Amino acid sequence: MLKIENLQASIDDKSILKGLNLEVKAGEVHAIMGPNGAGKSTLANIIAGKEDYEVTAGTIELNGEDISELAPEERAHNGVFLSFQYPVEIPGVSVTNFIKTAINETRKAKGLEDMPAKDMLKMIREKSELLEIDRKFLSRSLNEGFSGGEKKRNEIFQMAMLEPKLAILDETDSGLDIDALRIVANGVNKLKSKDNAVIVITHYQRLLDYIVPDFVHVLHDGKIVKSGDASLALELEAKGYDWIKQELV
Ligand code: ADP
Ligand code: MG
Ligand code: MG
C-alpha cells in the first residue's frame, strides 16, 4: 500500500527527515511514536502532500504509484486521509453538509456524478450508527465550539465516510483526554479492514491501550530507528526513549 524509501525533507533549509524508510501493507495498523520534534507530524504532512516542506530525496509510493508530485487534493482523491485537515470552524455548514461536499468533490475528480441523495443518507446513517454518533451532532456547525472529543468524533466520521485506503491520524494534541482517545481508538478499530491501512502517530502510549497496532516504529531525529510489535510501545512507556538513543551511539 505505502512504500517510503530514503525520504529526506527540510523546511527553511533545516533538515528534518533524514532518510526515512517505511512500508505499510493493506490490513495493517502501524503506530509511529517518538520524542517531540522527531519529525512525526512532518512525515504525516509530507505523505498528505502539504507544500511547506521541501522533499530533497527519496520516494513515496501508494499502491505502486509515485505520489510525491501530486497535490494534496489529488492524494486525497487517491485515498490518503490525514486527520486535522479541516480544523477550521465553518459557521452555517453542518458536519453532514461538509462531508457531502467532500465526497462529491472526490467523485467529481474521478469523473463521477454526485452521489444520489438517497445513497448519501443511507451511508451517513450506517456510518453514524457504527460510530455511535447522534443526529444532533451531525447537524451542528463544523468545529464551532467543538470540544476535544467532538473534534475527534468529527474527524473519525469524516474518515468513515471517505473510506480512505490509507488513514493517517496525527494525535498532536497533548490535551487529548481519555474520552477523545476512546473515540479515536473505537473508530480505528471499527473501520480497519483487510483493504485499508492506518498509521497512528502518537507521542503517548495510552492510545495504544485501545488500538493494538501490528507494528510500532520509533521515529528519532528524522529516521525510523527501531521497529517492533505492540510490545515495543509498552517498553517505551516503561523505559522512555533514552535507551534507544543510547543504542544508536
Ligand atoms: P513531531 O511531530 O515529531 O513532534 P515535527 O514534525 O512537528 O515533530 O517537527 C520536527 C522538527 O521540524 C522540529 O524541530 C520542528 O521545530 C521543525 N518544524 C516542523 N514544522 C516546522 C515549520 N513549519 N517551520 C519550521 N520548523 C518546523
Ligand atoms: Mg510535536
Ligand atoms: Mg507532531
Q: What is the ipTM of this complex?
A: 0.95
Residue nearest to atom 19 of ligand 1 (CA): 42
Q: What is the pLDDT of residues 76-120, one digit of tens each?
A: 999 999 986 556 777 889 999 999 999 999 999 999 999 999 999
Nearest ligand by distance to the CA of 42: 1
- The CB of 42 under 6 Å from ligand 1? The reply is yes
Give distance in angstroms: CA of 189 to centre of ligand 3.
22
Mean predicted confidence (pLDDT) in 209-238? 93
The count of structural domains within the chain is 1
* Cβ neighbours around 158 below 10 Å, total: 21
The per-residue pLDDT for 91 is: 81
Q: What are the helix and strand counts (H, E) for the chain?
A: 9, 12
Whole-number pLDDT of residue 215: 97
Of the ligands numbered here, which is closest to the C-alpha atom of 83? 3
Q: How far is the CA of 199 from the centre of ligand 3 (A)?
A: 13
Cα dist. 89→76, 107, 124, 179, 181 in Å? 21, 24, 21, 21, 22
For atom 14 of ligand 1, the residue with the nearest CA is 37
Give the pLDDT band (50/70/90) at residue 227.
Answer: very high
Is 174 touching ligand 1 by the criterion CB < 6 Å? no
- The mean pLDDT of 191-217, rounded to a whole number, is 91
Nearest CA owner, ligand 1 atom 22 = 11
- Taking the CA of 15 as reference, the closest ligand is 1
CATH number, domain with residue 180: 3.40.50.300
CA-nearest residue for atom 11, ligand 1, is 37
Nearest CA to ligand 1 atom 13: 37
* Predicted local confidence at residue 86, as pLDDT: 55
Look at residue 225 in the predicted model and tell me its pLDDT.
Answer: 95
CA 242 to chain centre: 26
Taking the C-alpha atoms of residue 96 and residue 99, their distance in angstroms, rounded to an integer, is 5
Joined grid coordinates for residue 130: 457504527
Per-residue pLDDT at 174: 60
Q: How does the average pLDDT of the chain come out, rounded? A: 91
What is the pLDDT confidence band of residue 34, given thresholds at 50, 70 and 90? Answer: very high
- Domain range for 242 is 2-248
Measured from the CB, is residue 7 less than 6 Å from ligand 1? Answer: no
- Rounded Cα distance, 151 and 95, in Å: 11
